[in-house]
Amino acid sequence: MSGDIGSTGPSAPSPPLSSHDRTRHRRLRDQGRTDRAALDDVLAAGFVCHLGVVVDGHPMVVPTVYGTDGTWLYLHGSVASRSLLAAPDAPVCVTVTHVDGLVLARSVFEHGVNYRSAVVYGRPRLVTDPEEKLTGLRLLTEQSAPGQWGYARRPSRKELAATALLALSLEEASVKVRTGPPDDGDGPDAELPVWAGTLPLVTTFGALVPDPGLRPGLTPPPHLADRGGTRVG
């Protein structure tokens, strides 16, 4: 099989760095995507990533929101603890994953998950330029809630100063995608009386929930009102 995040087999996902394990990467070449458009697609489809840092030799993985301009990935520095802020040029790994469904094979061994995943490696820099900080925060805000940067109150000088923003280059990145039916449709297991296929996973925005303390008479702007029912990922 081609390997995926649910596989019980030996061909489960290769390390995202192609230089890391050449043999395995060859075997999984159908999952590895190197083109830039694939990276942009995976990043555009989400707004939450998992940021990995090393603290005292131990890995730490925290979820956080991100924004991007295609060159830089912007992240909140504070999310990854003071240790990252103290050494913003330490190596990090940022992973964005969209789970698209379950792969239900005839055998347990071939079960898996359809997914799209992007991994970015690098050493982020602390954004200090006020202009870039505003740009980064705008990208970060618009990634999850497009329209809000022009609608909500923008950060004050004090708020800006209190915000630690990191910029990570998108230069070193890889994308892996698994789509389609299970891989045991053409082997001996295809004769088993076992239903096989996929069970898609769909993420959508629900209906807006107004703040209980909302000023009377305020209605949601179109960029929020139109979002209910739209798909995410």
Residue closer to a copy of itself (CB basis): 40 or 145: 145
Q: Compute the least distance from the CB of residue 11 to a copy of itself, in Å.
A: 8
Q: Compute the least distance from the CB of residue 124 to a copy of itself, in Å.
A: 12
Closest to 145 in 3D by CA, of 198, 224, 87, 215: 224
Q: How many residues bind a copy of itself (CB under 8 A)?
A: 115
- Please report, as residue ranges, which positions from 92 to 111 form the binding site for a copy of itself (by CB under 8 A): 92-95, 97, 99, 101-102, 104-109, 111
- What is the phi/psi pair of residue 130, to 5°? -60, -35
Of 115, 124, 135, 168, the one binding a copy of itself (CB under 8 A) is 115
* 154 contacts a copy of itself (rule: CB under 8 A): yes
Of 2, 12, 27, 126, the one binding a copy of itself (CB under 8 A) is 12
What tokens were used for 223?
Answer: 């960029």
Q: Residues 51-90: x/- map of binding to a copy of itself (CB under 8 A)?
A: xxxxx-xxxxxxxxx----------x-xxxxx--------
* 181 contacts a copy of itself (rule: CB under 8 A): yes
* 37 contacts a copy of itself (rule: CB under 8 A): no
Give, in order, the Cα–Cα distances in Å from 96 to each of 24, 28, 125, 153: 22, 19, 20, 28
* Contact window for a copy of itself (CB under 8 A) among 31-39, 124-132, 208-216: 208-216
Amino acid letter for position 145: A
Question: In this structure, how many other beta carbons lie within 10 angstroms of the beta carbon of residue 213?
Answer: 5
Q: Compute the least distance from the CB of residue 99 to a copy of itself, in Å.
A: 5
Residue closer to a copy of itself (CB basis): 35 or 186: 186
The bridge status of strand 58-68 relative to strand 125-126 is unpaired
- Is the backbone of residue 21 left (phi > 0), alpha (psi -120 to 50) or beta? beta
* 130 contacts a copy of itself (rule: CB under 8 A): no
Which helix (H) or strand (E) segment holds residue 188: the answer is none
Amino acid letter for position 138: R
How many angstroms separate the CA atoms of 228 and 39, rounded? 26
Residue closer to a copy of itself (CB basis): 40 or 95: 95
* 28 contacts a copy of itself (rule: CB under 8 A): no
Place of tokens 């940021």: 51
How many angstroms separate the CA atoms of 111 and 178, rounded? 12
Do 190 and 184 form a contact (C-beta atoms < 8 A)? yes
Q: Compute the least distance from the CB of residue 109 to a copy of itself, in Å.
A: 4
Q: Compute the least distance from the CB of residue 36 to a copy of itself, in Å.
A: 21
Place of tokens 């996973």: 201
